[in-house]
Structure 1
Amino acid sequence: MTFTEMTPRRQAQLMAFDRLLTIMDELREQCPWDRKQTLESLRHLTIEETYELSDAIMEKDLTEIRKELGDIQLHLVFYAKIASEPAIDPSARFDMADVLNGVCDKLISRHPHIYGDANGDKVVADTEEKVKANWEQLKLKEGNKSVLGGVPGSLPALVKAMRIQEKARGAGFDWEEKQQVWEKVEEEMQEFKAEFNVDTGQPIDEQRAEGEFGDLLFSLVNYARFIDINPETALERTNKKFIKRFQYLEERAKANGKALADMTLAEMDIYWNEAKTV
């Protein structure tokens, strides 16, 4: 399809992307700050922008989502620009066209139920679970040594636990019923309680207790997955709820001329319970 054959909206999208590429070229050449940046120097900024996008999504703030998507897109274009420059080893050099064509090729090869396999034959995958299973099998054929090899090592532990379990499920390694998972949660709870000596108050083996607590968290993440709850989202919503209520407590205490450090827990509970109704 030629540019003139595209819809006006698609033309506008391509022109906007071309505008960003042009601006990036100009900034990289003319701006002292942009000239100085490297792949490494941008890394922590990209992580920060990703968390800002996450916050906007949690708040369902579409205006902020649009803004943060723009910031992340800028970073992606920046990385590709740096990787296309003469300072990069020619054998490893790439630009944005290589990036986009690469991901397009991957999407086509990973969706044989839509585009067909290497022989042009459609592969049956009529459920989400079948699509995920096919995806993991195709990744192994492409050279991945393990189904879990694609889980980034630097992921936060809670997100990593969920991704590990999802990938294991894609390979057929999973519980059959959610009741089995809940029984595992209860088993891990008892093992953690035993290590913690809750009833006796005896000194604990901190390393063993930590291990059992990790097992308990992992099993809870597993159960959340079975009942379609994203544990990261659930915990973040609870974090935000706690912050909102605690800040209400602080404001009410201040309005009444009190400092939290001088209040009893019973006094704070009055404001805390008020916060639940606000």
Structure 2
Amino acid sequence: MGAPDPCAPDPGAPAGPAGAALLELVAVMDRLRSPGGCPWDARQTHASLLRYLVEETYEVVDAVEGGDRDELREELGDLLLQVVFHARVAAEAPDGFDIDDVAAGIVAKLVRRHPHVFAGEAAAEDLQARWDAIKATEKTRASVLDGVPLHLPALARADKVLGRLERAGLEEPAAPGAPGEAAVGRELLDLVRRARAAGVDPEAALRTTVRELEAGARAREAATGG
């Protein structure tokens, strides 16, 4: 049996403060991007990392819906890496920002948007409306739809747009059917309306149904040796 590793953590030592391991992650990322680090990590840009950010986000969704807590912990780590990676890339620009700026920004936003928690304000009956009102003071937007990501999956984006329009009192009634693609689009939009009325996430509902379809197909393949 070899000598104990002097760098190994002491199992009897008290745990550090929450977030201490985040500092280690930032240090590791700094080493990877610095001279003598990893050539692959060093040449990445915000644009080149986007595909991984999207993939890791969906892997977190899969882990949540699959109910595997160990997998969720791992996938959250992979997603957190993307945040730290982007912040490290940004810090290298002359007018850049770093991970502390990112964290400080979201801390300030959360405190500002929860006055009933941090400023002694009585909780509003409609907390979503209060959130939206505070948000409106922070960003000048020409439309209530500004800021809805164009690259959201179609069902998720329809849900987001309908939600914005409902809260602003701008939603239009369902339009009559039209031929071809327009008719299918209207039917899908009406399904999203029904899902919202029932409190169902349409994107998640479709993912669940497709997973069930896949599981049934795989079972049939296994049974027939296909």
Same fold (TM over 0.5): yes
The residue type paired with residue 100 of structure 1 is: A
The residue type paired with residue 159 of structure 1 is: A
Aligned twin of 1:105:
108
Counterpart selection for 1:41 from 44, 48, 58: 48
Deviation at 1:138, TM superposition (A): 2.2
The structure 1 segments of at least 4 consecutive aligned residues displaced by more than 3 Å after TM superposition are 172-175
Structure 1: gaps spanning 5 or more residues = 1-7, 176-180, 196-207, 260-278
- Cα distance in 2, alignment partners of residues 173 and 113 from structure 1: 28
Aligned twin of 1:199:
none
Counterpart selection for 2:202 from 191, 209, 231: 231
Matching of residue 18 in structure 1 with residue 23 in structure 2: yes
Deviation at 1:235, TM superposition (A): 0.7
SS of alignment partner, residue 121 of structure 2: coil
Q: Deviations over 1:161-213 (max 9, x none)?
A: 111122223324469xxxxx8xx5xxx6xx54xx5xxxxxxxxxxxx321122
Q: Deviations over 1:203-238 (max 9, x none)?
A: xxxxx3211221111111111111111111111111
Aligned twin of 2:69:
62
Aligned twin of 1:4:
none
Structure 2: gaps spanning 5 or more residues = 1-13
Aligned twin of 1:200:
none
The residue type paired with residue 180 of structure 2 is: A
Say how many residue pairs are matched. 210
Aligned twin of 2:189:
218
- When Rg is computed on C-alpha atoms for both structures, the one with the higher figure is 1
Counterpart selection for 2:132 from 127, 133, 136: 136
Aligned twin of 1:154:
151
- Cα distance in 2, alignment partners of residues 141 and 171 from structure 1: 15
Deviation at 1:12, TM superposition (A): 3.4
Counterparts of 1:171-182 in structure 2, within 5 Å, are 171-173=168-170
Aligned twin of 1:28:
33
- Cα distance in 2, alignment partners of residues 131 and 144 from structure 1: 21
- Cα distance in 2, alignment partners of residues 212 and 115 from structure 1: 48
Aligned twin of 2:5:
none
Counterpart selection for 1:167 from 154, 158, 164: 164
The residue type paired with residue 59 of structure 2 is: E
Q: Deviations over 1:25-47 (max 9, x none)?
A: 11111111111111111111111
More helix by percentage? 1
TM superposition score normalised by structure 1: 0.70
- Maintained 8 Å contact 1:140/1:146: no
How large is the Cα RMSD of the aligned pairs?
2.1
Distance 1:71 1:50, change over 3 A: same
- Maintained 8 Å contact 1:137/1:171: no
The residue type paired with residue 140 of structure 1 is: A
Aligned twin of 1:73:
80
Matching of residue 240 in structure 1 with residue 211 in structure 2: yes
SS of alignment partner, residue 71 of structure 1: helix
